[in-house]
Amino acid sequence: MGISEKIRQSMTEGSWIRRMFEEGAVLKQRYGDENVFDLSIGNPVMEPPPEFRRELRKLAENPFPGMHRYMPNAGYEETRAAVAEQLSRETSIEFTAGDIVMTCGAAGGMNVTLRAILNPGEEVILFAPYFLEYINYVDNASGTLKILPTDEQFLPKLDYFETAVGPKTKCVIINSPNNPAGVVYSEDLLRDLGEIIRKKETEYGTQIFVLSDEAYCRLIYDALEFPTPLCCHRQGVAVRSHSKDLALPGERIGYIAVHPDCDNHDDLIAGLAFCNRTLGFVNAPALMQHVVRHLQSVTISIAEYQRKRDFLYGSLVEMGYSLMKPQGAFYLFPRAPVEDDVAFVRELQEHLVLTVPGSSFGGPGHIRISYCVDDRALEGSLDGFRKVAGKHGLC
Ligand SMILES: Cc1ncc(COP(=O)(O)O)c(C=O)c1O
């Protein structure tokens, strides 16, 4: 009785981050906030850049009539134009306002896109490890998931991919920089993926979308360039967000960008706007659209995240953990020194260090560590990591 069986089951299966959050709250109550080192959740500790408050203040001091009313479901024309201008600067693609739909964050954008393109039962290809919410998003749109393994660098295996794309494949989700692995796909790899997709489109007479989740595209380190997958496939939809680059996750502001040369482009934009409305988002928040219009070239300090990455990565390597140096986002994904990643997360928890098992991201044998936290939590966690490493003979 009460909530649906399906929802109850999904809540039980996909609740690791929530579980750590709840258990963390109990630990914090018992031992004090300052003694629990919560590296489990990707909630940026940084405050938005000063330009954000400046724009907010301008609006509060100079309100204009109608600024809180309903608007076209795709968002304000001026905001869409500002987003398109910045996107054109960052990529080699000429976007216009007509290619953009403003959304309630990347989560809203992913749901709206999947809903707009999928017929029930059509397949979505996903590479593991993946952002765990995709499972729910694809289910929300009645799609079927095909999850593919990746190589030791967490990059797609092209032969597996080629075999997996079939007549029912409608969409390939690419998440670069990746949550949880932090890997960034190179332009060469994206070109290879695009070629395989086009070969399969010709073979089956289908249209296969690349759905590129670019929530972390501005959080890139060591001066690496971010190549958008849209450069390598014109049936492409990019989903972006200001949750991470402007540290505004609570404000729910992001957007969808459709490749200007995508087949049935105008139909798709109309479908996206329709789904924005009918999924109940209606439109992205008005106030935030007014604000981010002027902040398209602004970000929080990327150098600060890089410093945190270097600190924790360097410390874990020194302790003997095996992990790849992430090129973007704000997560580390080390191998657990025991097979059972859940047991390993529990061991760390005994030392008041909170992480998430890799198996909940389709990456068993690993743990996900979020380093978008304050330095106190990073420094405080080292003792626990060291003790557990010692216990397993890493150092
Ligand atoms: C890969 C990925 N996509 C989408 C989202 C959702 O972001 P938003 O807050 O913009 O909805 C997240 C949030 O952590 C994420 O990690």
What pLDDT, in 10s, does the model give residues 85-121? Answer: 999 999 989 999 999 999 999 999 999 999 999 999 9
Q: Region 347-364: what's the mean pLDDT?
A: 95
Confidence of residue 16 (pLDDT cuts 50, 70, 90): confident
Report which protein residue has its CA nearest ligand 1's atom 16: 179
Ligand 1 atom with the shortest distance to the CA of 110: 4
Q: Can you spell out the DSSP letters for 241-288?
A: ESTTTSS-GGG--EEEEE-TT-TTHHHHHHHHHHHHHHTT--SS-HHH
Atom of ligand 1 nearest to the CA of 254: 10
Taking the centre of ligand 1 as the mean of its atom positions, its distance from the CA of residue 239, in whole angstroms, is 10
Probe residue for ligand 1, chosen from 179, 237, 292 as the CB with the greatest number of ligand atoms within 8 Å: 179
Q: How confident is the model at residue 393 (pLDDT cuts 50, 70, 90)?
A: confident
Give, in degrees to the nearest 5, the angle at Cα 141 between 137 and 144: 85
Residue 21 confidence (pLDDT): 78
Q: What is the mean pLDDT of residues 368-395?
A: 95
Q: Residue 178 CA: which ligand 1 atom is closest?
A: 1
Provide the β-strand partners of residue 211. Answer: 173, 237
Q: What is the mean pLDDT of residues 344-366?
A: 96
Average pLDDT, the chain: 96
| Ligand 1 atom having least distance to the Cα of 253 | 10
pLDDT of residue 14: 67
Return the percentage of the chain with pLDDT > 70, whole number. 99
Q: Which atom of ligand 1 is the closest one to the Cα of 108?
A: 11
Residue having the nearest C-alpha atom to atom 7 of ligand 1:
106
Segment 287-322, tens digit of pLDDT = 999 999 999 999 999 999 999 999 999 999 999 999
> Tell me, what's the pLDDT at 242?
98
Measured from the Cα of 241, ligand 1's closest atom is 10
- Name the pLDDT band for 179 (thresholds 50, 70, 90): very high
Percentage of the residues of the chain whose pLDDT score is greater than 90: 92
Ligand 1 mutation target, pool 133, 251, 360, most atoms within 8 A of CB: 133
In degrees, to the nearest 5, what angle opens at C-alpha 306 toward C-alphas 231 and 379? 145
Q: Among 11-20, 75-84, 239-248, which stretch is predicted with the lowest mean pLDDT?
A: 11-20
Measured in angstroms, how far is the CA atom of residue 31 from the centroid of ligand 1? Answer: 30
Residue 395's pLDDT band (boundaries 50, 70, 90)? confident
By most ligand atoms within 8 Å of CB, the mutation choice from 241, 276, 292 for ligand 1 is 241
User: Lowest mean pLDDT: which of 19-33, 82-96, 123-137, 161-175?
Assistant: 19-33
- pLDDT at residue 184 is higher than 70: yes
Do residues 184 and 328 make contact, with C-beta atoms less than 8 angstroms apart? yes
The helix/strand/coil state of 391 is helix
Cα distances (angstroms) measured from residue 174 to each of 151, 178, 238, 278, 279? 15, 8, 9, 25, 23
Q: Best mutation site among 104, 175, 213 for ligand 1, i.e. most ligand atoms within 8 A of its Cβ?
A: 213
Question: Which of 103, 112, 114, 131 to mutate for ligand 1's pocket (most ligand atoms within 8 Å of CB)?
Answer: 131
Asked whether the whole model's pTM tops 0.85, one would answer yes
Which residues 6+ apart lie within 8 Å of 315 measured at CB? 382, 385
- Ligand 1 center to residue 107 CA distance, Å? 6
CA–CA dist 298, 320 (Å, integer): 38
Predicted confidence (pLDDT) per residue in 128-160, tens digit: 999 999 999 999 999 999 999 999 999 999 999
| Residue 109 Cα: closest atom of ligand 1 | 11
**Ligand 1 center to residue 133 CA distance, Å?**
9
Look at residue 257 and tell me whether its pLDDT is greater than 90. Answer: yes
Q: Which residues line ligand 1 (CB under 6 A)?
A: 42, 105-107, 131, 175, 179, 213, 215, 241, 243, 249, 254
Pairwise CA distance, residues 199 & 87, whole Å? 28
Residue with tokens 């960052």: 90
